[in-house]
Chains A and B, each alone.
Chain A
Amino acid sequence: MSAPEKPARILAIDDEERIRRALKSILSARKYEVVLAASGDEGIDRAIDASPDLVILDLTLPDRSGLEVCRELRTWLAAPILVLSVRSGETDKISALDEGADDYLTKPFSAGELLARIRALLRRASGSSASDPVIEAGDLTIDIARRRALRNEEEIKLTRTEFDILAFLAQNAGRVVTSKQLLQTVWGEEYGEDTQTLRVHIGHLRRKIEPHPSVPQYILTEPGVGYRFAFPSAS
């Protein structure tokens, strides 16, 4: 984060009092403005009143399903939604992404992970990702402005599509990017369904950029969802 700006307002919807307390403590300490809600209905009311810059949404709520809340918020709210789920709720996680959530975090999570996700989401929402012209990850350098990718200073020959995929993934590094998002960004709005084509291109890309192409470490598969660009040194 650069110049001092108005602190982002974050709405946290979780029925667990302990989690709300922890979220408030973590976020307030980082100068975020925190609004809390303990149920789905309350969450929607708070979202209307407070117009948050980001929503943290727990998927298991007492009054209605988190998925429903996510869908309803998405109909009018532009702010990113970060979903919290438990380990056994993988299907919910995938459905939430389908319903328009932007990322997910599995409980229990660390403050570091939470903050990293929040920062990435806010940065993307403010459209400032383009201001990062060169992305470095391990031995890879991705020069967005010059449309070049280098491995150990050596240029990798990529097709236009491959570079677009790589750039989009790298700009969202650490986050899950759904196949639909990738297809729509790289090919256009009408290409949301052709995951097989995407798979083929991802395969080619992996062979070009991965140090061990058969076991990818940069472009990871998120089953049923899409892909995630990982920094090899992360976690």
Chain B
Amino acid sequence: VNASPTKIWLRSFAVALLSVVLATALFWLIRRYLGKGHAALLYLPVVVFAASAGGTRAGHLAAALSFLAWNFFFLSPYGTFIIKDPKDWISLFVFLLVGTAMGVQTGRLQEREREALEREEEAALLYRLSAQMTSQTDTPALAKTLLEEALRLAGAQQTALFLPDRDDRLRIYAQAGAVPDDERVESLRSVADRSCREMKAVGLPAPDGALERIGEQWPISVPWDRFASDEDEIRGVLLPLQATQRSEGALYVGVAPENDPISPRVARFLVSLSYLAAAILERQRLQAEAAQSEALREADRLKSTFVSSVSHELKTPLSSISATVSNLLEGDVEWKPELLKEELSSIGDDLTRLNESIGHLVDLSRLEAGAWEPKRDRYEFGEILGTALSLFSSRDRRRISLAVPDDLPVLCVDFQQIARALQNLIENALLYSPAGVSVGAAALDGSLEIWVEDEGPGIPPPDRERIFEKFYRGSAAGTPSGTGLGLAIAREIVRYHGGRIRVEDRKPRGSRFVFSLPCPPDAKETVR
């Protein structure tokens, strides 16, 4: 892909010289069969050949050389550049004119064709790269592809991607190839800054050691879409990643001093690459911003639901306690011991509810703050369920039937968390189911499926996803009171363990809450 102007010149010259010398030698051998004018005709294809093989320059050169060779070898007096016959002058100059014109035409055609081929190749390459890059959903993967491709295409020594940090200061985000030292990074960073600010490509004469010349002859700053120029020997380039709204960062490509400088073609390609990267980075940034603002809106909505739900949940039992206690303290009534006991036990119930609400809030905030990391160990599902069940009153426990087989695979989970999830699901089922509740488990390829079934009114399909949201209560009438957090906590816990939770409809009535937990690979051997 890479070729310097000097090389192109040398190549054109070599092609022209070689074709003319060889042709002349051939013509010399068959000179006795050639008339005076034949040589001119024969040299024309040579010019065309040179132009098509070496381009316009080679065409020009071949025309000039043929002119000289014809004159020297085939026009009398032979062996001199002297022309006696004035008619030969005419032939010679007509030849020069026609030869040059043909050389130019052929060269141009050939160059256009080569250019078209190159463009096609570039387009194909860009297409492949764009497909590859647009499929990257995260910035690190995109940066890796971008830098490695730039490194490969430019035959570069090092490439680096500068992206703005939180304070909008450009920093090296990723790099490929040789690692530059700190001082070098700092100077590159300041050039990248300038490149982004002025929206200009900055060319550097060498990949290292030349940066101190900024502001003098170097760097070459041109409007960045016209960066490529034949004249400049550029071995380092900083391209702003210009998107529709702003500059997303900068791409640095540096070629080793012993290698060829960056050719216009490579430069053009790098420019295309940087446009592409800019567009993808912009898309990624906008997506992240959209997700963030969506998260903020959701957090806002939750916060207001939270405040109203929490104050409701905490204030209801509190007001009831306060009313009962103040009533007892009023002093205008002589309370009989059995009535007093009744009032006190109602206070006890309110306190239990208050404690439960606070417990749920504490659990959820610990889970959400990441302050309740699962401490995994190997347990059997049954022992967890046994402990969870021990927290229910014996009256409730009599309503719970079990379908837990003996040979379940062992789990590797946080005991407390799974017990809490089960407890919440069972509490929920008991709340809604006037009759019994059934808890069961079964092994299901590589995981354990656990369910809690009730015979309650069931959950209408639109609510089935939402009931796991915080504070969401069923839309059906006669919904019993609860914190609206139990299921959300269960879902968080199951998610922490890499499982999924869902709710299904049961026939003829009721719901079935199902969650699965992955089993450790060697789960077959139980702990017993």
Interface of A with B (CB < 8 Å)? 87-88, 90, 108, 110, 199-200, 203-204, 207, 212-217, 220-224, 230, 232-235
- CB–CB A87/B362 < 8 A: yes
Segment at the interface with A among B384-392, B476-484, B497-505:
B384-392
Say yes or no: is B460 at the interface (Cβ < 8 Å to chain A).
no
- Residue from A87, A214, A216, A220 having most chain B Cβ neighbours under 10 A: A214
- Which parts of B372-396 form the interface with A (CB within 8 Å)? 372, 375, 377, 379-387, 389-394
Taking chain A's interface residues, is the majority helix, strand, or loop, or is none over half, making it mixed? loop
A88 touches B362 (CB 8 A): yes
What's the minimum C-beta distance from B362 to chain A, rounded to whole angstroms?
A: 5
Instruction: List 13 interface pairs A-B (beta carbons < 8 Å), by A numbering.
Output: A214-B404, A215-B382, A216-B382, A217-B386, A220-B387, A221-B386, A223-B379, A223-B387, A223-B416, A230-B390, A233-B394, A235-B390, A235-B391
In the bound complex, residues from chain B placing their C-beta under 8 Å from that of A220 are: 383, 386-387, 390
Q: Which chain B residues (441-478) contact chain A, with CB distance < 8 Å?
A: none
CB distance from A200 to the nearest CB of B (A): 6
Partner of B387, one of A214, A222, A235: A222
Known: A199-B527, A221-B415, A223-B379. 13 other contacts (CB 8 A): A88-B362, A88-B366, A108-B351, A200-B527, A207-B528, A212-B402, A214-B380, A214-B404, A224-B375, A224-B415, A232-B394, A235-B390, A235-B393
* Highest count of chain B CB atoms <10 Å: which of A90, A221, A230, A232: A221
Residue of B whose beta carbon sits closest to that of A212 = B402
Contact A90–B416 (Cβ < 8 Å):
yes
Give every chain A residue within 8 A of B406 (Cβ-Cβ): 213-214
The residues of A that contact B392 with a CB separation of less than 8 Å are 235
CA A90 to CA B419, docked complex, whole Å:
13
Shortest Cβ distance from residue B410 to the other chain A in the assembled complex, whole angstroms:
11
Q: Find the A residue at minimum CB distance from B348.
A: A110
Q: Is B405 an interface residue (CB 8 A)?
A: yes
CB distance from A6 to the nearest CB of B (A): 32
Q: How many A-B residue pairs have CB under 8 A?
A: 74
**B406 nearest CB neighbor, chain A only:** A214
Give A234 to B393 CA distance when docked, in angstroms: 8
Q: Does B520 contact A (CB under 8 A)?
A: no
> A224 to B526, alpha carbons, bound, how many Å?
18
In the complex, the 7 A-B pairs of residues with the closest C-beta atoms, listed nearest first: A203-B528, A223-B415, A214-B382, A221-B383, A216-B386, A214-B404, A215-B382
Q: Does B177 contact A (CB under 8 A)?
A: no
CB distance from B11 to the nearest CB of A (A): 76
State in angstroms the CA–CA spacing of A220 and B390 once bound together: 8
CA distance A198 to B293 in the complex (A): 53
Residues of chain A within 8 A of B351, CB atoms compared:
108
Q: How many residues of B contact A (CB 8 A)?
A: 36
Smallest beta-carbon distance B355→chain A, Å: 6
A213 to B362, CA, bound (A): 33
Q: B408 interface residue, CB < 8 Å from A?
A: yes
* Chain A residue contacts of B383, Cβ below 8 A: 216, 220-221
B306 to chain A, nearest CB (A): 19
Q: Which of B372, B383, B402 has the most CB of A within 10 A?
A: B383
B359 at the A/B interface (Cβ < 8 Å)?
Answer: yes
Contact A224 B377 (CB under 8 A): yes
Instruction: Please name the residue on chain A nearest to B380 by beta carbon.
Output: A214
Contact assessment for B387 and A199 in the assembled complex, using a CB-CB cutoff below 8 Å: no
The answer to whether A214 and B408 touch across the interface, beta carbons within 8 angstroms, is yes
**Chain B residues in 8 Å Cβ range of A221:** 379, 383-384, 386-387, 415
A88 CA to B359 CA, complexed, in Å? 9
CB pair A214–B405 under 8 Å, yes or no, is: yes
CB-based contact A215/B362 at 8 Å: no
Measured CA separation A220–B416 after assembly (Å): 13
Name the residue on A nearest B414 (C-beta).
A223
Say whether B404 contacts A212, CB under 8 Å: yes
In the bound complex, residues from chain B placing their C-beta under 8 Å from that of A199 are 527-528
In the bound complex, residues from chain B placing their C-beta under 8 Å from that of A108 are 351, 355
Whole-angstrom CA separation of A87 from B414 in the bound complex: 16
Residues of A close to B363: CB separation below 8 A: 87-88
Chain A min CB distance to B223 (Å): 62
How far in angstroms is the closest Cβ of chain B from A217? 6
Contact B393 A215 (CB under 8 A): no
Interface centre among B351, B381, B415, B526 (most CB of A within 10 A): B415
Chain A residues with CB under 8 A of B405: 214
Q: Is the CB of A215 within 8 A of B385?
A: yes
With a cutoff of 8 Å between Cβ atoms, the chain B residues found around residue A87 in the complex are 359, 362-363
Residues on the A chain within 8 Å of B402, using CB: 212, 214-215
Residues of B within 8 A of A234 (CB): 390, 394
B195 CB → nearest A CB, Å: 52
CB distance from B272 to the nearest CB of A (A): 57
Give the complex CA separation of A5 and B394 in angstroms.
35
Contact A217 B390 (CB under 8 A): yes
Q: Which residue of A lies closest to B419 (CB)?
A: A223
Q: Chain A residues near B385 (CB, 8 Å)?
A: 215
Residues of A within 8 A of B377 (CB): 223-224
Residues of A within 8 A of B359 (CB): 87
Closest residue of B by beta carbon distance from A215:
B382
Q: Interface digits, B415-450 against A, CB 8 Å rule (1 contact, 0 not)?
A: 110000000000000000000000000000000000
Identity of the chain A residue whose Cβ is nearest the Cβ of B378 in the assembled complex? A199
B528 in contact with A200 (CB, 8 Å): yes
Question: How far, in whole Å, are A233 and B377 apart by their CA atoms in the complex?
Answer: 29
What is the CA–CA distance of A88 and B351 in the complex, to the nearest angstrom? Answer: 19
Residues of chain A within 8 A (CB-CB) of B527 are: 199-200, 203
* B380 neighbours in A (Cβ, 8 Å): 214
Q: Which residues of B sit under 8 angstroms from A110, Cβ to Cβ?
A: 348
Chain B residue at minimum C-beta to C-beta distance from A227? B383
A226 to chain B, nearest CB (A): 12
Chain A's nearest CB lies how many Å from the CB of B520? 16
Residue numbers in A under 8 Å from B362 (CB-CB): 87-88
CB proximity of B417 to chain A, nearest CB, Å: 10
Determine the chain B residues whose CB is within 8 A of the CB of A235 once the complex forms: 390-394
Shortest Cβ distance from B404 into A: residue: A214
> When chains A and B are docked, how far (Å) is the Cα of A214 from the Cα of B390?
14
The minimal Cβ–Cβ distance linking B438 to chain A, given in whole angstroms, is: 12
